[in-house]
Structure 1
């Protein structure tokens, strides 16, 4: 089984736990369509990551959220994220600029494409983003202060916010957990959403990067309205009606083409949930 399939199953389990609070382990194999051994391996990973507690044939979530740790998100929709990162980075012109980059797996692919640039100063709260950018030792990298948020491996809080407010950015590139015509751009984490809001607020041009699995999702905290952003880069699996709405709202919505064999995966539909027994 691939890491991508495992991470999709883990996402489904977390989604069910968020709605039900507790699940019987014996129900998971038939619900997921895998063997009991596969379920046990998945639960071991979840326990190692601190996502669940196990006792007497049942599991409970350690927190009421469906957000996956960034280490598990890295294997989801890789080809879409790679192409989104390449295209989004090409929107940043080759001249001396100051750019804000958030954390997250999709922004990480933007960082990879910018890492060889000698004309950029990049300010980021993402620890993984900073590591990627410093590998080539060409980009001038500024890392905000703040408190580390383990799920996303980024920095949040007053120190991070103050650093960002001391800059004016030519571009800001951030990810999102949800894109909705009514709710706008949303994140799981209120503290993470505040960082993204400030980055975009301080930037002349704001760019959202999000694979199409994020479209139609709504999460806890809104950080931007649809009409307030300049550009979003997503992929060709995006819902056509939603793309049309976003464009009509003034958001320059760019689609990268994903081949049929790219292994794109969607999260479980909200209505799918194990029945109590």
Structure 2
């Protein structure tokens, strides 16, 4: 039997929420904004996906068709759907490094979004971010203070970039900065496709006590054109697999520690 053309009230609400989020959202974000359970969100997404209104990915959905945020918008959520178990394990390994009351910066990376979800266990954080998703997850929760950086919105990454974001970030003193990257080079360190993202990492690492890099092992073999902060400014790399010999030697030379995330870390 064909589905009725008129969407339900819940479906309309979810579609409008996705539009407010720039065309895509995680189930946890949508549940918070709609004040419903994640299971309700998942059921609604499933119905909308059958109707062709959204595309489902692991942990969320994005709008499709002419009312979506454009050709580049869904790419963040395609990345979110890649290696979700490994990203959750990485987030679990990072959680013990961040204590209640710390001042933390979180970037727009898909792995960083998993870290943000894990940080909902912490209290009284001062969170600074250029990520819409991180802001939705951690604002007005457990006594947190959330600062969303200004600047130009990039729909592809669901975040803000540019001189305004960099200037605002430079006014904070961070206990911990959590960064992702498009590639990790044994010669140059963190590499990015977006030059504005690379520039923002310079501002936040200059104001950081500790810089934690979170990335799956797939980034060890990738490349990108724009360099991030000097690798000697990094403190810790957390990944789901050990780096190869060349990268491991570079980490040692830079003074960067390595932590291996594992299913055991996720269960701890």
Q: What is the match of residue 207 of structure 1?
A: 212
In the aligned structure 2, how far is the partner of 1:257 from the partner of 1:240?
Answer: 20
Q: What is the match of residue 112 of structure 1?
A: 117
- SS at 2:238's partner residue? strand
Quick check: 239-248 or 118-127, which moved more? 239-248
Question: Is 1:174 paired with 2:179?
Answer: yes
Cα deviation digits, residues 89-121 of structure 1 (max 9, x gap): 211134x22111111210011111112322310
In the aligned structure 2, how far is the partner of 1:110 from the partner of 1:193?
Answer: 20
What displacement does 1:50 show? Answer: 4.6
Q: What is the match of residue 84 of structure 1?
A: 90
What displacement does 1:244 show? Answer: 4.3
In the aligned structure 2, how far is the partner of 1:229 from the partner of 1:185?
Answer: 9
In the aligned structure 2, how far is the partner of 1:149 from the partner of 1:250?
Answer: 33
- SS at 1:199's partner residue? helix
What displacement does 1:203 show? Answer: 0.6
In the aligned structure 1, how far is the partner of 2:199 from the partner of 2:95?
Answer: 23
Indicate how the Cα distance of structure 1 residues 177 and 220 shifts in structure 2: closer, same or farther if over 3 A, else same: same
- SS at 1:208's partner residue? strand
- Where structure 2 has 5 or more consecutive residues not aligned to the other structure, the ranges are 1-63
Indicate how the Cα distance of structure 1 residues 210 and 224 shifts in structure 2: closer, same or farther if over 3 A, else same: same
In the aligned structure 2, how far is the partner of 1:97 from the partner of 1:230?
Answer: 17
Cα deviation digits, residues 115-167 of structure 1 (max 9, x gap): 23223101111111111112735321111111111111010012211210111
In the aligned structure 1, how far is the partner of 2:180 from the partner of 2:131?
Answer: 11
In the aligned structure 1, how far is the partner of 2:223 from the partner of 2:79?
Answer: 18
Aligned counterparts, 1:196-235, within 5 A = 196-235=201-240
- Output the TM-score relative to the length of structure 1: 0.66
RMSD value, Cα: 2.5
In the aligned structure 1, how far is the partner of 2:247 from the partner of 2:74?
Answer: 25
Aligned counterparts, 1:180-195, within 5 A = 180-195=185-200
Q: What is the match of residue 73 of structure 1?
A: 79
In the aligned structure 2, how far is the partner of 1:81 from the partner of 1:166?
Answer: 30
- SS at 2:81's partner residue? coil
Question: Is 1:239 paired with 2:244?
Answer: yes
CA contact (8 A) 1:237 1:258 kept: no
In the aligned structure 1, how far is the partner of 2:111 from the partner of 2:216?
Answer: 8
- Where structure 1 has 5 or more consecutive residues not aligned to the other structure, the ranges are 1-44, 52-61, 260-277
- Output the TM-score relative to the length of structure 2: 0.68
What displacement does 1:190 show? Answer: 0.3
In the aligned structure 2, how far is the partner of 1:107 from the partner of 1:217?
Answer: 18
Cα deviation digits, residues 236-273 of structure 1 (max 9, x gap): 264355334423432101111269xxxxxxxxxxxxxx
Cα deviation digits, residues 4-38 of structure 1 (max 9, x gap): xxxxxxxxxxxxxxxxxxxxxxxxxxxxxxxxxxx
